[in-house]
């Protein structure tokens, strides 16, 4: 997935569950990439390497996360 417009870049999405507030903004922004655990309500990453078609949604999820629990690594 390219977040900088370069097709050769690969990005990995991760989440720090210990920082997650359970607000669910990531799920609303990118439901194909994020979910909430049924038991504790904390973030779960469904796809650590989502396709480029999800790049805008993933960026929105990172921006919307109130606790800063989400990360994107290249």
- The per-residue pLDDT for range 18-72, each reduced to its tens digit, is 999 999 999 999 999 999 999 999 999 999 999 999 999 999 999 999 999 999 9
- pLDDT recorded at residue 36: 98
How many Å separate Cα 72 from the centre of its chain?
A: 8
Give residue 47's pLDDT.
97
Q: What is the pTM of this model?
A: 0.85
C-alpha span between 74 and 60 (Å, rounded): 17
d(CA 57, CA 39): 25
Between strands 34-36 and 43-45, the pairing is antiparallel
Q: Is the pLDDT of residue 1 over 70?
A: no
Q: Give the CA distances from residue 42 to residues 20, 26, 50, 51, 70, in Å, rounded to whole numbers and listed in that order.
A: 6, 11, 20, 23, 12
- Predicted confidence at residue 10, as pLDDT, reads 72
């Amino acid at each position: 997935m390219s977040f900088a417009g370069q097709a050769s870049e690969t990005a990995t999405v991760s989440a720090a569950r210990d920082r997650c507030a359970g607000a669910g903004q990531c799920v609303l922004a990118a439901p194909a990439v994020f979910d909430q655990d049924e038991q504790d309500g904390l973030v779960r990453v469904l796809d650590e390497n989502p396709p480029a078609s999800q790049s805008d949604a993933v960026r929105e999820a990172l921006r919307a996360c109130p606790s800063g629990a989400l990360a994107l690594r290249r």
